[in-house]
Homo-oligomer: A and B are copies of this chain.
């Protein structure tokens, strides 16, 4: 029998290289002159520490998880060794604890008082969040905790698919309650073509709450169903988190300003980035700067813990994420999208997930048979992955056949038909993985995940073009 992989080694340089950098970032805002946004240094420092803790804690806790029966076999490998499951729990614990320990840095007059300094008078500076933001921050933490907890319960109790769907709804209740208590904004900006009809702003009222619930349900479940190969869950979440960070950075007060020449792409105006006074896209709005800082404070440590996890989860995986990780990441995205008010931009970063979800619909809603696992099929001899298939035990309905023939025409699935009457016998499973394998041919697991990452990155580039290029056609500068 083939032996499974041993824990991935941790080079000493990691600890000795990153630790001093992390500590410098924590201390920097206390040194005069204090920067316009001191807490962002602390956030980077705390994130680096969270990275270190996670990357060391995961292999250390692995055996404990296996002993507690939180383990799984890697279905796409030749070895059968138990791999620790639900390690998203470690990721989530470190992540949430970082967020909690960060509270005094963002929400008190810590820096100004300790450094005994005056805020820089030039441009926008955020030395301290307004008070009511603390409640918003705390409600976000509660939602993340509940999402993690329910994700872990899912791992322990193995909750059925249909019972899982409401989990993000429960987890988003704290968000909604505090949003309501804080009299959060429920208006949306109407796209230009509809302004004659609806005016510039529309108050969605209770519908806005429904929208928030749907957003968290979507972001959570869409990551959870794009899963199954080594590294896929963390990779996609990592690319999305990095995309959100890049987007946030466009709104911050940088020391130097520059332009992204979007007129080359046909936009009416270039995107100005940075500039102390203008803070780039924030165009002088303190509120927009604060919103995107809020988002950054959630995304920076998320990137840190996901990277640390991915180090151990990369092909061949030493640990598995469990549903816990997907729920945590999905909820974190929903939180920033809702609280920092850029949910439409956020959804643009979810294009591969949206594609995967729409592609899955015929199987999720019973038009096409849905086996328990839809992961690609592993061929031990070649070490390659092939598209996995769903078999029709009964003759497919007319609607099913029609849908599958359309999907096949689009090159999204491969059908096996009866030699005589041409009826569909088998179809490749309706996931983005199987689509990629149909499109690009069999490949090994690592390459398939790299292809997924490429797709996700390409999606984010398109998202930025749409958001800052094409959106000018349907929205003016008014953002709330």
Partner-B contacts on A (CB < 8 A): 64, 67-70, 89, 97, 100-101, 103-104, 107-108, 131-132, 134-135, 138-139, 141-142, 145-146, 148-149, 152-153, 156-158, 170, 173-174, 177-178, 180-183
How many copies of this chain?
2
Complex Cα distance, B159 from A67, in Å, reads 12
**Interface contact A68-B145, CB-CB below 8 Å:** no
A142 interface neighbour in B69, B100, B170, B178, Cβ under 8 Å: B100
Which B residue sits closest to A64, measured CB to CB? B157
Inside 8 A of A89's CB, which chain B residues have their CB? 153
**Interface contact B142-A108, CB-CB below 8 Å:** no
**Interface contact B177-A103, CB-CB below 8 Å:** yes
Asked, given contacts A132-B131, A145-B149, whether A100 binds B173 with beta carbons under 8 Å apart, the answer is yes
**Interface contact A178-B134, CB-CB below 8 Å:** yes
**Interface contact B107-A181, CB-CB below 8 Å:** yes
Inside 8 A of A67's CB, which chain B residues have their CB? 157
Asked, given contacts A97-B173, A156-B68, A157-B68, whether A181 binds B139 with beta carbons under 8 Å apart, the answer is no
Inside 8 A of A149's CB, which chain B residues have their CB? 145, 148-149, 152
**Interface contact A134-B181, CB-CB below 8 Å:** yes
Inside 8 A of A103's CB, which chain B residues have their CB? 174, 177-178, 180-181
Complex Cα distance, B158 from A68, in Å, reads 8
Main DSSP-derived SS at the A contact region: helix
List 27 A-B residue pairs with CB atoms under 8 Å apart, sorted by A's residue number. A67-B157, A68-B156, A68-B157, A69-B69, A97-B170, A97-B173, A100-B173, A100-B174, A101-B173, A101-B177, A103-B177, A103-B180, A104-B180, A108-B180, A131-B131, A131-B135, A134-B178, A134-B181, A134-B182, A135-B138, A138-B138, A138-B174, A141-B142, A141-B174, A142-B142, A142-B145, A149-B152
Which B residue sits closest to A175, measured CB to CB? B100
Q: Which 8 A-B pairs have the closest CB atoms?
A: A138-B138, A103-B177, A107-B181, A134-B135, A145-B145, A68-B157, A108-B181, A135-B135
Which B residue sits closest to A128, measured CB to CB? B181
Inside 8 A of A100's CB, which chain B residues have their CB? 142, 173-174, 177
- Chain B proximity of A53: nearest CB distance (Å): 13
- Chain B proximity of A141: nearest CB distance (Å): 6
